[in-house]
Structure 1
Amino acid sequence: MEREDSINVLGEPLAPCSADPLTGFFRDGYCNTCAADQGSHTVCAVMTDEFLAFSKYLGNDLSTPRPEFGFSGLRAGDLWCLCAARFLQAHDEGCAPRVNLGATHKRALDIVPLDVLRAHAG
């Protein structure tokens, strides 16, 4: 699993997203990606209760702790590397969370237009 270059959507070095909770496809705190990351976990987003409920409704429960996987569950205010397609889906449904552009990997642009990401920059 060779990582792609750690460049953000602004063409700059990728900033960290979150170390607590530890996020990213590689669980390194960054929204790095590689060919094996089929979900493109590249959008660094600030969780909201609305988005967490939306994700759970769609079958990806990010708020329930899963100790068997070392996952304590997310709460509003936590930063997390989201799948780019799920972020775009949330945008289309009007419940997309804010994003950290500096910590969002450039590979997200394959799925989410930059103007959409900018609209949710926070």
Structure 2
Amino acid sequence: MAKNVLGGDLVDCSRNPMTGWYRDGCCNTGAGDTGVHTVCAVMTADFLAYSASVGNDLSTPAPQYGFPGLKPGDQWCLCAPRWQEAFEAGSAPQVVLDATHVQTLEWCRLEDLQSHAVTG
């Protein structure tokens, strides 16, 4: 069982919309996940606008990739480097710590994640 950033078992992030590198609802990761989709983030309008401004439009559906498009309040397995970038820019979304993979700590400080924590 994968671990979360708090040392417990990793729990699901979202099944509606279905998220995760493996599209299983969980922010698990593996060798093919070069983006490190490990942060269970709660989308905000501010973050979605920020992400689009740096070239990653998460609001527009892309059905050919099974991507529904995200709206504020949706939970999504976000790339750890993108969360860190957004944090440094003052636009980081909230984080569900129990559903955020421990590998995130290679990119982000636990204290920073905790400062944006919500319960899922």
Give the equivalent residue in structure 2 for 1:113.
Answer: 109
Secondary structure of 1:12 counterpart: coil
**How many residue pairs are counted as aligned between the two chains?**
118
Residue 56 of structure 2: aligned partner: 60
1:12-27 → structure 2 map (5 Å cutoff): 12-27=8-23
| Equivalent residue for 1:6, pick from 2, 6, 11 | 2
TM-score of the two chains, using structure 2 as the length reference? 0.95
User: Offset of 1:120 from its aligned partner?
Assistant: 0.6
RMSD: 0.8
Matches of 2:34 and 2:93, distance apart in 1? 21
**Residue of structure 2 equivalent to 1:97:** 93
| 2:26 equivalent among 26, 30, 36 | 30
How far did residue 34 of structure 1 move?
0.8
Q: Does 1:80 align with 2:83?
A: no
**CA–CA distance in 2 between the matches of 1:102 and 1:58?**
28
| Runs of 4+ residues over 2 Å off in structure 1 | none
In structure 1, how many angstroms separate the alpha carbons of the residues matched to 2:3 and 2:68? 28
- Please give the per-residue CA displacement for 1:22-73, whole angstroms capped at 9, x wherever unaligned: 0000000000001211111000000001100111111111100112222220
Tell me, what secondary structure is at the counterpart of 1:81?
strand
Normalised to the residue count of structure 1, the TM-score between the two structures is 0.94
The alignment-based identity, stated in percent, is 55
In 2, distance between residues paired with 1:87 and 1:69? 22
